[in-house]
Structure 1
Amino acid sequence: MLIPRIITAVVLLAILAVLISLSNPVYFAIFISLASALTLFEWLRISLNGAKKQLTAAMIAIMTFVIFLALYFLMMPGEGEDNILVALSKPTVFQANPWSTVVFSLLIMLQFFVSFVWIFIVPMVLYQAKTQVSYNSVFHSILAVFAAFTTWFAILIIYVFLGAWFLLSFLSIIWCADNFAYFGGKYFGGEKLAPAISPGKTRSGAICGLISVAIWMTVSAFIENSFSALLVKHIGLLGAVAVGVLMGVVSIFGDLYESLLKRRAGVKDSSQLLPGHGGFWDRLDSVVAVSPIAMCFVFLLYIQ
């Protein structure tokens, strides 16, 4: 199990390194569109009901992938004045092509709505911890579609607009929360965080993960063009650390939420598409939860 896990991780990192090194962002856009669509497929095959849920999930995921590519070329058609990203760098934010502006505005509003769901609604679902429910409500399937769009939009816009390093500095919040929670939990042990949902997670691990996030936000605040540096510029270091910790907490929510749905569905992994890792949703559950929140802060602070 360990060798396939390492090989898969190395291959994915190599692909990502090549894509972010290319000058044309279209290849990265295709990769993110594919990853988001596959995550949606895995989520829907767990949350949907009916004998044909696999086929339904696949059809929705394929249509979503096509929509992602169409939206990419709609919002970023070229290097001229009709480019929504060029328009965003000027005081007249919404003077780009009208259609791309409408789409962009709708996607921004969706970021705020989905962020609200992750911060306020999902914790209530986790608190109830109804793992024995034999069906999944429409809510979870609708959230799957919304979450796929917000993840795709946030990752793509942050990368194209602010660069690969800014994107990695934001994703590092999730990696810190996840990895240090794992090792901290193994070392300190103690009370379980959510025993009914994920018996392997401990409160000590979660605390270690959040402490590591606070440290990362403090350190990266002094690195130019990082996510933390942007926050510090507008809300100070304490504000940046607070935002980082909030995102670390939400990343835990994302992980637990997927575990809850998998328990309800009686499956161990979201799929077997990534040998040694399970599926795309297994690897991106925290990214899916945190990305819209990061995009909200980027949007609010950048246009000031």
Structure 2
Amino acid sequence: MFKQRLVTGLLLAGVAFAAILGLPNIAFGIFVLVTFLIGADEWARLTGGHTPLIRLAYVAVVAVVAGLAWGLAEHGDVRLPILIGVIWWLAATVLLLVYSPNRPLDVIGGMRMVMRLAVLPSLVPAWLAIVWLQRYDPWLLVFLVVLAAVGDSAAYLAGKRFGRHRMAPRLSPGKTWEGLMGEMLMSLLLAIAGAWHFVADDVWLRMGFVGLCLLTVLASVVGDLFESLLKRLAGAKDSGSLLPGHGGVLDRFDSHLAVAPVFLMGWLWLRGSGL
């Protein structure tokens, strides 16, 4: 299983970096949107949409809303749809904190309906943020992908070696506070290197960039745990079986759904502050 997961991960990384660095922005946007629409289909099945008609409806709605968000970003301000994504992930954080497996679904505001509607603020702002970052600076998007991937690996290794205290036993028993500390430490080192490369020669802006990277890492944890909640409510181990060793598209990119809008919103704020 580990070998299969490693091979799949390396192939995905190669495809992702080639697309980020090699495709024009429009082609890249379509490529990522197709990937996210596969994720929308997985989301439909996880929330009870097992018929082809319901799954098609999920995919169609996400595609239409993505188009509307792109139009708004092109002719208005990209901050609005990205802000919607950031607000959603703040709400998702609260949802994760109050969730209890012992409560009926309807006690927490109709959890299943919330999960069905969450497909839009989860997928669309993330897609737009990823495409916008590739347009602005492909290497900045590469940095973000590496930040999330290296942090996740550091969390796994630190948790396996030092993990004693579970962080979210109700949702993801393998996550530990020690793993999170290892992830934050490795991310801090990457953030410092990124600040010297991407940010102007200003100590306060560089410190702001480092802080943004650490906040982004915390957002990745929220994205990961939220997908765990989605699968727990569905009684599923994985979101799909498309990617050998990883599961489905959502299993592989769950953390990026929260990472992308949080990072872009912070980046835009830093630019407005003089970056």
TM-score scaled by length of structure 2: 0.86
Contact 2:155 2:182 in 1 (8 A): yes
Aligned equivalent of 2:146? 172
Instruction: Report the secondary structure of 1:199's partner residue.
Output: strand
* Offset of residue 216 of structure 1: 1.1
Q: 1:247 to 1:8 in 2, by over 3 A?
A: same
* Alpha-carbon distance in structure 1 between the residues aligned to 2:185 and 2:62: 37
* Alpha-carbon distance in structure 1 between the residues aligned to 2:196 and 2:233: 44
- 1:268 and 2:237 aligned: yes
**Which one is further off, 288-297 or 17-26?**
17-26
* Alpha-carbon distance in structure 1 between the residues aligned to 2:258 and 2:113: 18
1:97-149: CA deviation from partner (whole Å, max 9, x where unpaired): xxx414xx3x5312112212313x22221122323555743222222112211
Letter in 2 for 1:118: W
**Which one is further off, 10-19 or 60-69?**
60-69
**1:289-300 alignment, distance < 5 Å:** 289-300=258-269
Contact 1:180 1:205 in 2 (8 A): yes
Contact 2:83 2:265 in 1 (8 A): yes
Identity %: 26
Letter in 2 for 1:144: V
Q: 1:3 to 1:127 in 2, by over 3 A?
A: same
Contact 1:36 1:151 in 2 (8 A): no
Aligned equivalent of 1:94? none
**Which one is further off, 18-27 or 244-253?**
18-27
* Offset of residue 176 of structure 1: 2.9
Match for residue 60 of structure 1 among 58, 61, 65: 58
- 1:117 and 2:88 aligned: yes
Query: What's the RMSD between the two structures over aligned residues?
Result: 2.6
* Alpha-carbon distance in structure 2 between the residues aligned to 1:50 and 1:32: 23
* Offset of residue 274 of structure 1: 0.9
* Alpha-carbon distance in structure 1 between the residues aligned to 2:256 and 2:264: 12
Aligned equivalent of 1:189? 163
- Larger Rg belongs to: 1
* Alpha-carbon distance in structure 1 between the residues aligned to 2:39 and 2:260: 14
Instruction: Report the secondary structure of 2:174's partner residue.
Output: strand
Query: Structure 2, unaligned stretches of length 5 or more?
Result: none
Query: Structure 1, unaligned stretches of length 5 or more?
Result: 76-83, 85-99
* Offset of residue 234 of structure 1: 8.3
Contact 1:185 1:205 in 2 (8 A): yes
- 1:253 and 2:228 aligned: no
- 1:145 and 2:115 aligned: no
Counting matched residue pairs gives 268
TM-score scaled by length of structure 1: 0.78
Contact 1:181 1:205 in 2 (8 A): yes
Match for residue 126 of structure 1 among 88, 96, 101: 96
Q: 1:15 to 1:69 in 2, by over 3 A?
A: farther
